[in-house]
Chain A
Amino acid sequence: MQVQTEGGFAAIPGLSKTIGLDSDTLPPQEAEEMRQLVTAARFFELPAQQPLPQHGADYRRYTITIDDADRHHSIQFTEPVTDPHLRDLLAFALRHRSSS
């Protein structure tokens, strides 16, 4: 799984590095958690492009890409994230930012 972040009040190009998480290298418990979050979010069924926010500013835009065996899917969305399952998946990735 790869997560890319851009924008936000503190938009700093030097910080928009991609978070990369690999289930083969994550500790088994966390790899399993990631798989469950991907399944719960029905990630591969989500539209590639979420609707743009009707209002607001300084929101971040996220791009999540997942390669799983023969499946590849990428979605783009902005804050605030209303889908609770997608929010959980995003929070998981952001929590593992430093270990990516």
Chain B
Amino acid sequence: MSTYTQNNSNSLRSILPPHILKAIALKSQDVTQRNRAIHTLSLDHTHRSSRLIRSQHRLHLPHEQTLVTSSTQVHRTIYDAHGTMDLPGSIVRTEGSNPVGDPVVNEAYDGLGWTHALYLEIYRRNSIDNEGLPLLATVHYGTDYDNAFWDGTRMIFGDGDNDLFNRFTTAIDIIGHELTHGVTEYEANLLYSGQSGALNESISDVFGSIIKQYALKQRVDQADWLIGAGLFTAKVHGRALRDMANPGQAYDDPLLGKDPQPDHMNHYDHTLEDNGGVHINSGIPNRAFYLTATALGGYSWERAGYIWYETLCDPRLRPTAQFSDFAKLTLENAEKLYRYGSPEWTAVREAWDRVGVPIPVPAMGGR
């Protein structure tokens, strides 16, 4: 058996930096210019070629076991912004050091540990970049700050306002969600807008929930499938920010309003806010994963998780992927990992069908 390694060549991209292409794709009033930018983004051959090479090293039979070396050791550093927006803040806990008196610091440290463990132990992925990238997090960011985000280098967590929101390290799935944005950036680099942005968000919710279930050793029928459970204060009428099993039913509050997530393409929200509703329309692919995982039973990180992870790393998954593109690739990866017509393949196909993203399936041998 050999150690699984990958060679990330993310620095080799098209001539125009992706952010400029993205800006043109998002902002340009010139339709031709926008289409060219989208086309260039979708034909980022260098990046996709490197992913193709890496994918050939990746797992094809998920049940095989492979040894990992000590180079896969997690390297966590937690910083404290002390209520300011100055990054990175001061170092308050490093890898291997004992817990400190501040529970927020320890929650971030432990959450990163669980996330790293899931990716390594289940998917044989060595950190965000699969090359052992150190994991950096800043806590106590801002004052009454109701957010957590990934800035491309680190995860940043606010303490919440303690009126509507508790601290953002309170839920392990939030930590897993943010770290998974890093994984997505190194793999598919899904454009953070519209359907590709909603896929980006959904992938983070999917693996965020998986990480929680993995930490708690829960089967799919034991999991709550909530994102951000415990984040709301008692004042809010809601269970969590998002509900993967029942998108649109996570909260219904006089101040916050009703959870706007759709559970079917018939209710897709064409809003312009939030980069085209990336945190709203993610409900559709979220439910597709939930339906797949619960149809298969057992642990979500296994069969359903393998299929979603393989799809995330599939070099054919382009930055501008739409729901139908992603759905089609999940079915193809279900076939690659299992077989055409297998329970896994059938579960994937039926799940997407139920959320209004039917996948045209040619007869076997016609593909």
B-binding residues in A (CB < 8 A): 6-16, 49, 51-60, 79-81, 84, 87, 90-91, 94-95, 97
Contact = CB atoms under 8 A, between A and B. Distances in A.
Given A53-B152, A60-B147, A79-B149, A94 B231 contact: no
22 contacts: A7-B278, A8-B147, A9-B168, A9-B178, A9-B279, A12-B256, A13-B273, A13-B274, A14-B253, A14-B255, A49-B27, A53-B152, A56-B151, A56-B181, A57-B150, A57-B178, A57-B192, A57-B200, A57-B204, A58-B147, A79-B151, A91-B143
Report whether over half of chain A's contact residues are helix, strand or loop; otherwise say mixed. loop
A55 B274 contact: no
Interface in B18-47: 18-19, 22-23, 26-27
A13 B269 CA distance: 12
A59 B150 CA distance: 7
Given A54-B18, A57-B192, A57-B200, A10 B146 contact: yes
B241 interface: yes
Interface of B: 17-19, 22-23, 26-27, 84-87, 142-153, 156, 164-165, 168, 174, 177-178, 181, 184-185, 192, 200-201, 204, 228, 231, 241, 253, 255-257, 260, 273-275, 278-280
A22 to B, nearest CB: 21
A76 to B, nearest CB: 11
Contact of B85 (A57, A81, A97): A81
A52 B275 CA distance: 11
Nearest to B84: A91
A95 B143 contact: yes
A84 B85 CA distance: 9
Contacts of A55: 19, 151-153, 185
Contacts of A60: 147, 149
Nearest to B251: A12
A8 B149 contact: yes
A10 B257 contact: no
B250 to A, nearest CB: 10
A67 to B, nearest CB: 23
A32 B147 CA distance: 29
A18 to B, nearest CB: 13
A9 B147 contact: yes
Contact of A13 (B87, B200, B204, B257): B257
A41 B142 CA distance: 18
B228 A10 contact: yes
Given A9-B174, A57-B184, 6 more contacts: A10-B146, A10-B231, A55-B152, A58-B178, A91-B143, A94-B144
A79 B184 CA distance: 19
A53 B274 contact: no
A59 B18 contact: no
Contacts of A87: 85-86
| The 3 residue pairs across chains A and B that have the minimum distance between CB atoms | A55-B152, A14-B257, A54-B19
A80 B174 CA distance: 18
B260 A13 contact: yes
A12 B236 CA distance: 13
Given A57-B149, A57-B150, A6 B273 contact: yes
Contacts of B168: 9-10
B85 A80 contact: yes
B26 A52 contact: yes
A94 B86 CA distance: 15
